Amino acid sequence: MTTHHPSSAQAAPVTTPAPDPAAGRAVHAADRAHVFHSWSAQGQIDPLAVAGAEGSFFWDYEGKRYLDFTSGLVFTNIGYGHPKVVAAIQEQAAKLCTFAPAFAIEARSEAARLIAERTPGDLDKIFFTNGGADAVEHAVRMARVHTGRPKVLSAYRSYHGGTQQAINITGDPRRWASDTGTGGVVHFHAPHLYRTPFYSETEEQECERALAHLEQTIVYEGPQTVAAVILETIPGTAGIMMPPPGYLAGVRELCDKYGVVFILDEVMAGFGRTGTWFAADLYDVVPDLMTFAKGVNSGYVPLGGVAISAKIAETFENRPYPGGLTYSGHPLACAAAVATIETMAEEGIVEHAAHLGENVIGPALRELAERHPSVGEVRGTGVFWALDLVRDKETREPLVSYNATGADNAPMADFAATAKRGGLWPFVNMNRTHVVPPCTITEAEFKEGLAVLDEALTAADAHTTAGSGTDAGRPQAG
């Protein structure tokens, strides 16, 4: 038994190799001298030198082991180093390591077939990209050419990627520095009852008001100028907000009413994370275009793509699609996708994710929320959960302010440092921590992480109005 099989009740413990601090120092020094990191002030970061990873764990050169509650950047849905996928990549490398995109290649054909078999409705043509952002770029380009319209509407609470158009489409603050020449992007408020922009008191109100707001935005922008509405089916980095029942179906109706292309971004939510193959399956909604990446091959080799409906594919039947990539459908990446999808099916990984969400992770996180004054809301499904941390449960004031840095971010820094000391690598974004381990995590591993999360939340409690000083984290009266 290995750590990979989700149904293995007692996975074998991961044994880390002997520590090698000198090698770790060399890796770190070369990184600091030459590697330019994403989204960072280069002089203010101190990246951990990682020696290896397996299943739900990784370890450093000192021999310290971390349980990864982040799945990298929410991509190792089948955990690190799954032997079947590693072997498939090795076999493909030996057979046909690379080939140009204009040819029919077995691994590419098979990956497209397996993906199309699982995507909802008639999303049966697959355009492969190198990752999520370029999938979003191409989905929007397809929508613009298909409709002949320029604008794209997206949600403020969203992340769609770091390339120029995708970062403009993104709602979160990472777009601000690149918000020049936004190319017809208009943002709107998607539903989020806990922090409602519509003063709603129920999910029904939030749904109704969010749909009215979106329709008003389309009308005021001029429907004849709107090519697409793009939404993450369940927004990921922005906070794992499950859309209220009826919202996505309502957006589908609005798009049909105004001739707008409906794009769902499943880069983070797709491929098992929500306990279904795609988050769209939970809402019984079929978009015109759907983007994917990350979990498609657990991030073992860069890959993303757009699943295209019959209607939009038809536009490009006798008219060239004005776009392409040197590595579209790279054989190594596609072989990894084939092996990942087959492994997920054979090992029941999607079912395991659903079981964890319903019976293990969801109940455990709700129990934490009852005990910790810092936990304002727990939301999610499958292996895709957020804890919205607050200074005060009554007012819902976030534990740190929007986009806080430095001293203002101390409570979240405290939380993260406590988790790491305990051997848990946490996902932290603004005032939230997300619980997004590999979908293959065992119940025993999850419980190990839960105990550390409990301690880290106790550190966060100290920053709440309820928990100053040493009383933090104790059960609250009343």
Name the residues that contact ligand PLP, by CB under 6 A. Answer: 73, 131-133, 136, 159-161, 232, 236-237, 265, 267-268, 293, 304
Closest approach of Cβ 118 to ligand PLP, in Å?
18
Distance CA 86, CA 64 (A): 24
For 413, residues 6+ apart whose C-beta sits below 8 A from its C-beta are none
Closest approach of Cβ 17 to ligand PLP, in Å?
30
Structure tokens at 434: 């997300």
* Comparison of 156 and 198: residue with beta carbon closer to ligand PLP: 156
* Comparison of 306 and 344: residue with beta carbon closer to ligand PLP: 306
Q: Phi, psi at residue 88, to the nearest 5°?
A: -65, -40
Helix (H) or strand (E) holding 342: helix 331-346
Closest approach of Cβ 455 to ligand PLP, in Å?
28
Closest approach of Cβ 193 to ligand PLP, in Å?
21
Q: Map 65-89 to HEC letters.
A: EEEECCHHHHCCCCCECCHHHHHHH
* Comparison of 269 and 390: residue with beta carbon closer to ligand PLP: 269
* Comparison of 258 and 327: residue with beta carbon closer to ligand PLP: 327
Structure tokens at 370: 């009852």
Cα–Cα separations (whole angstroms), residue 215 to 142, 145, 193:
22, 22, 19
Question: Do residues 397 and 390 make contact, with C-beta atoms less than 8 angstroms apart?
Answer: yes
State which amino acid sits at residue 227: A
Structure tokens at 224: 């004849």
Q: String of b and e for 330-356 (b: at least 16 CB within 10 Å)?
A: bbbbbbbbbbbbebbeebebbbbbbbb
Edge to edge, the sheet with strand 65-68 lists: 50-54, 57-60, 65-68, 424-425
Residue 220 CA, distance from chain mean position: 31
* Comparison of 137 and 347: residue with beta carbon closer to ligand PLP: 137
Closest approach of Cβ 232 to ligand PLP, in Å?
5
Structure tokens at 420: 């790491």
Closest approach of Cβ 298 to ligand PLP, in Å?
13
Distance CA 176, CA 180 (A): 8
Closest approach of Cβ 270 to ligand PLP, in Å?
9
Closest approach of Cβ 274 to ligand PLP, in Å?
13
**Parallel, antiparallel, or unpaired for β 65-68 and 424-425?**
parallel
